[in-house]
Structure 1
Amino acid sequence: MRGARLGRPLALALLLIGAEAVAEERRLEGEISYRYDSLDSGFDDWQTQRLDLQSTRPGDTTWYGAALRERRFGTWDEGLELGAAVPLDDNWVLQPEVGRTFGADFLPEWYADLRLQRRLPQGFVGSASLRRTRYDASRVDRLALGAERYWGNWRAAYTLNVSDVQGAGNPVGHAVALDRYYQERSVIGVRASVGREEEGLPGGRVVTSDVTALAVRGRHWLDDDWAVSWELGSLSQGDLYDRHGIQLGVRHAF
């Protein structure tokens, strides 16, 4: 399952821990989003519907979850995601996350992810995560190592993904991101990735292929309580297909 959360990454909580941040009130936000992907090579177009909830307070635990429906290859899968970002002290954040799909056809039956982040000098944040993803006919274990840097209104990030796909090798992928924040909470950014990635197919099968992807995304707050989110992206999944997608969402703070 691929999340659709936007806004300042949870790693930024490390940079906000302090007397002023702790004084802020807890904030609950919900977002409804819809994504449409057009595929070539004779594949049916994809659709994704999500309802995301997130409860945040700088310096305190962040709780989040989502309910989702995805249509691929002419069939629907539904699932749930739950997670938290728990500050251990002024420098460390532990982030467990789990997901479960009901009657999975192409999405994984379940996944579990454990991420550890540490604040470093000069606006850097380092992270490492381990994830196990279980499909009906395969298993994928992934190690992700990341580095981020914040300066002014900017954030840059790099992630190295190394996977162990049961019966399908050890794909390695690279991802970079650049974000610019404006008007305090709004953001616009670009994402790019290259390497080999796994892809779930009907019947719980998993294949690996060369992937190149590029996306532009953002969230713009209209006032204190309402925001719109968006994403435009293109992905080449090796010789399988090329995919072009658009996602739109509406977010509200309660």
Structure 2
Amino acid sequence: MTHAYCAIGKGSRALGWLLGLCVLALTAAPLAAASDARTEMEVSQRYEHLDSGFSSWQAQRLDAQHRTAAGLTWYGAALRERRYGEWDEGVEAGAAIPLGQYWVIQPEMGKAFDAGFLPSWYADLRIQRLLPDGWLGHASLRRTQYDDSQVDRLALGGERYWGNWRGAYTLNISDVEGAGTPVGHALALDHYYNDLSFVGMRASIGREEEGLPDGKVFTSSVSSFGVRGRHWLDAHWAVAWDLGWLSQGDIYNRYGIQLGIRRAF
């Protein structure tokens, strides 16, 4: 399965280090993954410290994915996050569906229950095309619905695989209802030091949107940098980790750490 996450966030762009993450951010081996069927589950905990007098954030996720022998991948997650002194819970689900030898279509949806700061729901459709010389192009359309605002996003990007390395760039153009059209840029570089284990970095810059507890959305200048990885201890168990920093303009700086345990069946 290729990387489902190259943009920042799922509607609330400041979710980038967690939701993503694309996952969703479920990062697996490049397109040349093994043909055997495989199921994986991961439980993770994230803690984020905010300056400027804001209280800390935290989040828990339970992710699951199943790849069939034919290459079709299903994935989903249950999550809960604490921000601004309150909790939000939600679910996500999606699939990566090969269409022939070169195309992959990836629909994904998510919903929050009694949403405060998370979006009420989002829907995303991503298309990928395998190109010559290790290149891969992708485009996606996402609609994110908050209580009092709607965000539409177009993401265009490319990836290149060479040896044990992967590099990626994504341009994000959002249309925020009542708040303009912010643009963001995201870069990624990963090194796979065996078939599945990897270490990589992420960086982003631009103007992006974030949901507030009252259901409104504001935009601000955002820059971020982080490193993350996954190390397989044996054929069944892996440790996932993520360290990141994000600056939300003049509002706050956020410093996060996430740890996860992954099990393959």
Q: What TM-score do the two structures reach when normalised by structure 2?
A: 0.90
In the alignment, what sits opposite 1:27? 38
| 2:179 is the counterpart of 1:168 | yes
Q: 1:199 aligns with which of 198, 201, 210?
A: 210
Runs of 5+ consecutive residues of structure 1 not aligned to the other structure: none
CA shift at 1:25, angstroms?
A: 2.3
Indicate how the Cα distance of structure 1 residues 188 and 6 shifts in structure 2: closer, same or farther if over 3 A, else same: farther
Q: Percent same amino acid among aligned pairs?
A: 64
1:228 alignment partner AA: V
1-side partners of 2:198 and 2:70: how far apart?
Answer: 21
| 2:89 is the counterpart of 1:78 | yes
1:70 alignment partner AA: E
2-side partners of 1:179 and 1:245: how far apart?
Answer: 19
Aligned-CA RMSD value: 1.2
Runs of 5+ consecutive residues of structure 2 not aligned to the other structure: 1-9, 11-18
2-side partners of 1:59 and 1:155: how far apart?
Answer: 24
| 2:196 is the counterpart of 1:185 | yes
In the alignment, what sits opposite 1:7? 27
Indicate how the Cα distance of structure 1 residues 208 and 159 shifts in structure 2: closer, same or farther if over 3 A, else same: same
1:84 alignment partner AA: A
More helix by share: 1
2-side partners of 1:58 and 1:103: how far apart?
Answer: 38
CA shift at 1:6, angstroms?
A: 4.3
2-side partners of 1:116 and 1:203: how far apart?
Answer: 33
Indicate how the Cα distance of structure 1 residues 168 and 226 shifts in structure 2: closer, same or farther if over 3 A, else same: same
CA shift at 1:133, angstroms?
A: 0.1
User: Does structure 2 conserve the Cα–Cα contact (< 8 Å) formed by 1:61 and 1:84?
Assistant: yes
Q: What TM-score do the two structures reach when normalised by structure 1?
A: 0.94
CA shift at 1:45, angstroms?
A: 0.4
Structure of greater Rg = 1
In the alignment, what sits opposite 1:66? 77
Q: Deviations over 1:57-113 (max 9, x none)?
A: 464210000000000000000000000000011000000000000000000000000
CA shift at 1:226, angstroms?
A: 0.1
1:73 alignment partner AA: Y
Name the count of aligned residue pairs: 245
CA shift at 1:8, angstroms?
A: 2.8
2-side partners of 1:240 and 1:130: how far apart?
Answer: 29
1-side partners of 2:260 and 2:48: how far apart?
Answer: 15
